[in-house]
Structure 1
Amino acid sequence: MFGEHELKTQFIKIADKKVHLLEDKGGIVRYRRDEVEKIIKSNGEKLKILPSPAVGYGVRLLMVKFREPVVVPPQGSLIGYIEAPVEIDVKVGELSIDHFIVGKEKYALYGTLEAGVICRYHVSSFHAEEPESLGVVKLIVSNPSSEWKSLEKVIIPVKGSSMYYTEDKAYYPLLVVTIKNHIPEVNNTGKPPKEGLNSLGNQLSLPNFLMRW
């Protein structure tokens, strides 16, 4: 699925979507996906199918609500995984020829009606081990305070985020959530969540996002 594919007749399944490549005369390859169709002149370049942050209609934040809130003791930390939506970018060379969303697309208001922002929305359980989902976030929840803390959701800065992937799974960078004075601070570190992953983007961190609501 993710990675490079020969420009030859074949079907490529991506979650609930399917890409169809059809060779034609004169070195032409027809690219089809739902109602999208492109004509590609083949020159030996491969088609690249890559994960992309779930920015939807241009949002900069992804809200993931936990099905079960997590509770962390004083001076303690918790490492786990959550599922997260991703989008798909299709390229020839460095040119993007298609971009689409897989699964259901949901949005929510983060904050108040007067000062809030629209963000992508997803609901996930908190997993002790990596889940078998298309998109995964590894996060460390840290509680440096002297009190017990509870976390019901996480707001992830995703616009401009780097991404990581294997053939069948996409990963957001390692996320660190520090609960300070009842206002969790979220740091998209830009770093890979584990070794051996392919990388996309500049791998820069998106630090110091304060979850005020």
Structure 2
Amino acid sequence: MFGEHELRTKFIKIGSTKIHLLEASPGLVRYRRENVEKLIKTRDGEKLKVLPAPAVGYGVRLLMVKLREPIVIPPKDSLSGFIDVPMEVEVKVGGTTIDRFHVSREKYALYGTIEAGAIARYHVGNFGIDEPDSIGVLRVVISNPSAEWKTLEKLVMPIWNSTMYYSPERAYYPLTVVTLKNHIPEVNNTGKAPKEGLIPVGPGDALPNFLMRW
């Protein structure tokens, strides 16, 4: 699924989406996905790259995940686990993007107030200790350094210009740390791989910390 593919006749399946490559004539390969169709002139050694991308949709900068079950953390304690999340797929030849699409239903919501809020990609997700059987995965560490019990009901994180990681079958956002302090959760997209053995898409740079004011 994710990774490099020979430019020859074949099917590539990502979730319920199918990419069809068809050798149209010597030196030309037809790319098809639903109503998208392009002709690619082949070159020795050049491959089609199917890569995960953050779920920015129409250009949003935030991903907002409402937890189906809010998480309660004791004082001076932490919890690590996984959440199923939306992502997108970018298809490239050389350094050129020839297609980009989402693999789940697009939903958006207002984060914050009408006057000062922002539109975010929206998803209702499940938190679990074990990695979920989904295409998009987020590993999160929830830390409560305070002296009080804390509850986390949703996670809002910056995703614009975020790197991604992948295995052949799954896409991963970078390891994300949520710190519950001062009544305003602080979210850190670390840019680091959530586990060993994954392939990065771009440099693993951290994004500026984000304060969940609402």
Cα shift at 1:26: 2.6
Paired position in structure 2 for 1:188 = 189
Cα distance per residue 1:121-161 (max 9 Å; x no partner)? 00111111111110000010000000000000000110000
Deviation sequence 1:77-110 (CA, Å, 0-9, x none)? 0111101101000011111111111110000000
Which residue is equivalent to 2:8?
8
> Aligned pair 1:73/2:74, yes or no?
yes
Identity %: 65
TM-score by length of 2: 0.98
3-state SS, counterpart of residue 51 of structure 1? strand
CA distance in 2, matches of 1:4, 1:12: 11
The answer to whether residue 29 in structure 2 is matched with residue 42 in structure 1 is: no
Amino acid at match of 1:174: L
Mapping 1:123-162, distance limit 5 Å: 123-162=124-163
**d(CA) in 1 for partners of 2:72 and 2:132?**
20
In structure 2, the gaps of 5 or more residues are: none
- 1:57 matched to 2:58? The reply is yes
Matches of 2:85 and 2:131 in 1, distance apart?
Answer: 12
CA distance in 2, matches of 1:48, 1:180: 41
CA distance in 1, matches of 2:92, 2:209: 32
Deviates more, 1:69-78 or 1:8-17: 8-17
CA drift at 1:24: 1.7
Unaligned stretches of 5+ in structure 1?
Answer: none
Partner of 1:205: 206
Q: Which range moved further: 176-185 or 201-210?
A: 201-210
Q: Measure the CA separation in 2 of the matches of 1:208 and 1:136.
A: 20
The number of aligned residues is: 213
* CA distance in structure 1 between the aligned counterparts of 2:167 and 2:124, rounded to whole angstroms: 23
Letter in structure 2 aligned against 1:27: G
Deviation at 1:169, TM superposition (A): 0.1
Matched, 1:33 2:36: no
Q: Structure 2 counterpart of 1:185, which letter?
A: E
**Deviations 1:38-77, CA, capped at 9 Å, x for gaps:** 0011112110100000000000000011000000000010
Letter in 1 for 2:133: E
| TM-score between both structures, scaled by the size of structure 1 | 0.98
List, as ranges, runs of 4+ consecutive aligned residues in structure 1 with deviation greater than 6 Å: none
Pairwise CA RMSD of aligned residues?
0.7
Query: 1:169 corresponds to which residue?
Result: 170
Alpha-carbon deviation of 1:207? 3.1
Q: Which residue of 1 aligns with 2:104?
A: 103
What letter is aligned with 1:194?
K
Q: How far apart, in 2, do the equivalents of 1:208 and 1:42 lie?
A: 43
Q: Structure 1 stretch 111-120 or stretch 198-207: which is displaced more?
A: 198-207
Residue 179 of structure 1: aligned partner: 180
Rounded to whole Å, the distance in 1 between the matches of 2:20 and 2:113 is 44
